Structure 1
């Protein structure tokens, strides 16, 4: 058994949750905050059999997209507040997944 921790943008969370349910995968969705843009994220905790890991990753990949976002440089580098005022385009979104072994699984 494996535990998948998938960190995704809020914008993709509803669609991902629906697709996981359609695929008969149970998941727990937790609100989280990203460290880079300090924006809203969701962390999905998904327990699956080892042979189903690729199926879950395929669903995540199909439903979690990267997108461009403009931010002010002062948000990224506060020390540059006086010299940089034009917004900068950055890539956000997608998914970051951690796959961990599970020693024991119990459901009550």
Structure 2
């Protein structure tokens, strides 16, 4: 048995959740916040059989697309002088961790 942690953008969360559930994966969703952009994410916790891991990853990848977004940034131009300008960054996609499960019980 494996435990999958998948971190996806809130923009993709509902599509990913819907497809995982439709394909009979048991999913727990957690609201999380990314450290770089301080933007909302959803972390999915999925317990599944070893042979279904690739299927889950394929579903997550298919429904969590990377895209670019302009975000404010600041730069220093001397002592005490700051200005804000937009920077293009890549957002979306998924970060996935797969771990072995030593023991599983559903009570």
TM-score above 0.5:
yes
Aligned to 2:86: 87
Q: Which runs of 5+ in 2 are unaligned?
A: none
Instruction: Show the counterpart of 1:12.
Output: 12
**TM-score, length of structure 2 as denominator length:** 0.91
Unaligned runs of 5+ in 1: none
User: How much does 1:83 deviate?
Assistant: 5.5
The RMSD of aligned alpha carbons is 1.4
Flag the structure with higher helix content: 1
> Larger % of strand: which?
2
Aligned to 1:103: 102
Cα distance in 2 for residues equivalent to 1:80 and 1:27: 44
The 5 A counterparts of 1:8-87 are: 8-74=8-74, 80=76, 82=81, 84-87=83-86
Counterpart CA distance in 2 for 1:88 and 1:24 is 40
Name the CA distance, whole Å, in 2 between partners of 1:46 and 1:55: 12
Deviation of residue 39 (structure 1)?
0.4
Count how many residue pairs are aligned between Structure 1 and Structure 2.
104
Following TM superposition, by how much is the alpha carbon of 1:72 offset from its aligned partner in structure 2, in angstroms?
A: 1.6
**SS at 2:102 equivalent:** coil
Instruction: Give the SS at the match of 2:16.
Output: helix
TM-score (structure 1 length as normaliser): 0.90
